[in-house]
Amino acid sequence: MDKDLKASIAEVQVFVASPRRAVPARGSSEVTRVSTGCANCNLHEICIPCGLTGREVDQVEELIYARRRVKRGESLYRAGDAFNSLYAVRSGFFKTSQMLEDGREQITAFYMAGEIMGMDGIGPERHSCNAVALEDSQACVILYSRLEVLSRNLPGLQQQFHKVMSREIAREHGVMLLLGSMRAEERLAAFLLNLSQRFAARRYSGHEFVLRMTREEIGSYLGLKLETVSRAFSKFQEEGLISVRHKRVGILDATGLKRMIGRGLH
């Protein structure tokens, strides 16, 4: 039994008034009652409670049925699973991906702390992609049925939820622009700048960070092969735009990176 699991057991507390039913554990991921609610969570400026008043945040906490620990490489949910809840990343890093029959995998997103996963499942009432942890992670389980009810009574929550969905749509538009009209180096530059920005928004360094995904996963997300990603990294390093050593990346010249996007050839 590893230390994470021990910690998770120690953390079990009756926090939610009346959990309606059990959430099935998948793989070795573990389900725990939440001990720290949204009000104490340091992500409340980024996550669902963003913009809500203290009283409202207390109510929003009731949404969180439990928290799930997911170890590196394991699934939070899989394509085809029944849809019951959304997930907010509490800690760690996830990827979501779609598969083609022949095994080709397209990564559709990387999620970091405070971001919401699973919204594509609402329509079909079934998850349509796989969510896998890129490192040992935790996700808050947001029961969708409760979210529906609660957001009818809390306009602020309703608004925030709609904005979260809307931003997911807008984000994907950006990815479509990237995949449909940018060249390999532009794609990687856009990707690095995006990561940098998101780390900075979480008060981590936006200038120096560790990639949680492999070159192959970056390639899958960007519609490139891993060798092409690797070559682009090397080229950026030669040009003094970044420093790379395996997964450790330093952004040396963010302006230079921005300049390479959106100007066609050269």
Provide the binding-site residues for a copy of itself, judged by CB under 8 A: 98, 100-102, 104-106, 108, 119-124, 128-129, 148, 151-153, 155, 158-159, 162-170, 172-177, 179-182, 220-223, 261-264
CB atoms inside a 10 Å sphere around CB 138: 24
Contacts of residue 140, defined as CB under 8 A and 6 or more positions apart, other chains included, come to 34, 64, 66, 67, 87, 88, 90
| Residue 19 or 223 with smaller CB distance to DNA | 223
Q: In this chain, which stretch among 51-59, 120-128, 182-190, 192-200 interacts with DNA, using CB under 7 A?
A: 182-190
Provide the 3-class DSSP secondary structure of residue 107: strand
Binding footprint of DNA, residue count (CB under 7 A):
24
The candidate with the shortest Cα–Cα distance to 223, out of 265, 264, 175, 189, is 175
The item of DNA, a copy of itself, none sharing an interface with residue 51, based on CB under 5 to 8 Å by kind, is none
> At its nearest, how many Å lie between a copy of itself and the CB of residue 187?
10
Instruction: Quote the tokens at residue 72.
Output: 């590196």
The candidate with the shortest Cα–Cα distance to 96, out of 107, 105, 80, is 107
Instruction: Quote the tokens at residue 142.
Output: 């947001």
Q: How far apart are CA 144 and CA 130, in angstroms?
A: 18
| Candidate residues 41, 43, 117, 224; the one interacting with DNA per rule CB under 7 A | 224
The item of a copy of itself, DNA, none sharing an interface with residue 234, based on CB under 5 to 8 Å by kind, is DNA
| Candidate residues 3, 20, 21, 246; the one interacting with DNA per rule CB under 7 A | 246
Q: List beta partners, residue 85.
A: 143
Q: Does 265 bind DNA (CB under 7 A)?
A: yes
The item of DNA, a copy of itself, none sharing an interface with residue 21, based on CB under 5 to 8 Å by kind, is none
> Are 93 and 212 within 8 A, CB to CB?
yes
Site for DNA in 183-202 (CB under 7 A): 183-185
Radius of gyration of the chain (CA): 19
Residues forming contacts to DNA in the complex (CB under 7 A) are 183-185, 211, 214-216, 219, 223-231, 233-234, 244-247, 265
